[in-house]
Structure 1
Amino acid sequence: MANTYFQFKQFRINQHQCAMKVCTDSCVFGAYVEVKQAKRVLDIGTGTGLLALMAAQRSGAVVEAVEINPEAQVQAAQNFTESPWADRLKLYPMPLQEFAKTSTQQYDVILSNPPFFLASLKSDDAAKNTAKHTGDLLFEDILKFAQKHLTEHGKLYLLLPPTEASHFAALAKAHALYLTETLEVYTRTGGKCIRHVQTYTFASAEKAVTNRLDIREEDGKTYTTDFTALLRDYYLIF
């Protein structure tokens, strides 16, 4: 069966029960976020557990994860248990809204690759709709949670398409969270920008820093030096 798992250098992502499989932009996101100094990390909408596992690999942090989908909960739990960092990974099988009612923990890093298509048409696949649309996990819920549970100097990271990223940035200001850095992710040199990796803090910046990452060279086949360097600790091919 195709796509039953994705093998990284230090862990495996079993994904046959999940609607959303491992994808390149999620790997970029997981490798980009700063977690080395973090003591506690939260992954909102963990899916297969990919981002939580990437954070655990390059930090000594306790990494917690929230997931609403029953099939993804089973898959993430398996991936956590089979990883080298099982003792530092904890899954909460519930919606963020429910988790927020009882959580008293503070996090140095909160990250999320949330449901994001605000205006696009939904598919006939209910699981994919839950994973890709904001109907079940609203941006406001992420912001309310971060405002309350992010440490003073903590960072909130989001992976979103450009349009939704602009929308989130506007909403964030009302919660005293400010966009300080954006990594624009392009399919290839001269290609299309497909995602923004956004960094938010409680300290506003005079002007947010914008950087660019091209996944492939202009030929559309060869990985760029920057992409290779970013994913070197994870991808078997590098």
Structure 2
Amino acid sequence: MANSYFQFKQFRIEQDKCAMKVCTDSCLFGAVLDVAGAAHILDIGAGTGLLSLMVAQRSQASIDAVEINPEAQQQAQENFSISPWAGRLKLHPESLQEFAAHKQQRYDIILSNPPFFISSLKSPDAAINAARHVEQVFFEEILRFAQQHLTSSGKLYLLLPPPEAILFQKLAQKYDLHLAHTLEVYTKVGGKCIRHIQTYTFDAVPAATVDQIAIREMDGVAYSPAFIELLKEYYLIF
């Protein structure tokens, strides 16, 4: 029987109450975020609290985490409370719209690994179109919030599959947010691109820079040196 928790070097993620468990691409996302010098960070859709805890380990920031799902709220709060950074982590058990209605804080960094639907659906066109609508509405809520609450030099970070990343980039233009950088995440060297880690800013750039990282070596077993370097402060095995 698998453990109901995931043990990192400096904290533990209990995950028995959450549908979304700790996964490799989320861990990579948390490790690559540039949080140096950030005073205030917001995690939209906190889930187990994984990303908030990862950035807490590498910063001195005050971190707000918004989560609408009751089971995830309970799980994230539990994980925050047993961490070394409990005093800097605050869970907000509400929707992003509710949070936005009363929160005036501006953030140096806003990050999100939002739910996505399109790429995983194999159903008829009507269902795909409905999912696309739900997804677009939520993406625009993130963008609207970022437009109003991100500092002028702040950064918005997203982890998305490639199709959803393209959609998000198109929507961002309406909110004066510009894609500055994309990190393409591959399953292995020479493998499939499964995620885009996107960085948005208010500063317009001629073209976004693009980098690539493979999670594993070509054999699909050994972790790549780049992945090990990023996760060595977190994973017990490194």
- Interval containing the TM-score (normalised by the shorter chain): over 0.9
Query: What SS does the aligned partner of 1:199 have?
Result: strand
Contact 1:116 1:134 in 2 (8 A): no
Separation (CA, whole Å) in 2 of partners of 1:21 and 1:122: 23
Deviation at 1:2, TM superposition (A): 2.0
Contact 2:119 2:163 in 1 (8 A): no
Query: What SS does the aligned partner of 2:97 have?
Result: helix
Separation (CA, whole Å) in 2 of partners of 1:145 and 1:71: 24
Instruction: Indicate the residue corresponding to 2:61 in structure 1.
Output: 61
Separation (CA, whole Å) in 2 of partners of 1:151 and 1:122: 40
Query: What SS does the aligned partner of 2:118 have?
Result: coil
Query: What SS does the aligned partner of 2:153 have?
Result: strand
Contact 2:182 2:197 in 1 (8 A): yes
Instruction: Indicate the residue corresponding to 1:205 in structure 2.
Output: 205
- More helix per residue: 2
Instruction: Indicate the residue corresponding to 2:70 in structure 1.
Output: 70
Change over 3 Å in CA distance of 1:183–1:55 after alignment to 2? same
Query: What SS does the aligned partner of 1:138 have?
Result: helix
Change over 3 Å in CA distance of 1:137–1:27 after alignment to 2? farther
Instruction: Indicate the residue corresponding to 2:39 in structure 1.
Output: 39
Residue type of the alignment partner of 2:20: M
Contact 2:215 2:227 in 1 (8 A): yes
Change over 3 Å in CA distance of 1:46–1:11 after alignment to 2? same
Instruction: Indicate the residue corresponding to 2:101 in structure 1.
Output: 101
Separation (CA, whole Å) in 1 of partners of 2:157 and 2:113: 9
Deviation at 1:218, TM superposition (A): 0.4
Deviation at 1:120, TM superposition (A): 3.9
Deviation at 1:97, TM superposition (A): 1.1
Instruction: Indicate the residue corresponding to 2:150 in structure 1.
Output: 150
Separation (CA, whole Å) in 1 of partners of 2:60 and 2:122: 39
Asked if 1:49 is matched to 2:54, the reply is no
Deviation at 1:121, TM superposition (A): 2.9
Deviation at 1:170, TM superposition (A): 0.5
State percent identity of aligned pairs: 64
Query: What SS does the aligned partner of 2:108 have?
Result: strand
Q: Any residues of structure 2 matched to 1:169-180 within 5 Å, and which?
A: 169-180=169-180
Q: CA RMSD in A?
A: 1.6
Deviation at 1:118, TM superposition (A): 3.0
Contact 2:119 2:161 in 1 (8 A): no
Separation (CA, whole Å) in 2 of partners of 1:72 and 1:3: 18
Deviation at 1:36, TM superposition (A): 1.9
Separation (CA, whole Å) in 1 of partners of 2:57 and 2:89: 11
Number of corresponding residues:
229
Moved more, 114-123 or 8-17: 114-123
Q: Any residues of structure 2 matched to 1:1-238 within 5 Å, and which?
A: 1-118=1-118, 120-121=120-121, 134=134, 138-238=138-238
Change over 3 Å in CA distance of 1:177–1:14 after alignment to 2? same
Deviation at 1:119, TM superposition (A): 5.8
Deviation at 1:122, TM superposition (A): 8.4
Residue type of the alignment partner of 1:27: C
Contact 2:214 2:224 in 1 (8 A): yes
Q: Cα deviations across residues 147-206 of structure 1 (Å, max 9, x unaligned)?
A: 000000000000000000000000001100000000000000000000000000000111
Contact 1:66 1:96 in 2 (8 A): yes
Separation (CA, whole Å) in 2 of partners of 1:134 and 1:207: 29
Residue type of the alignment partner of 2:164: E
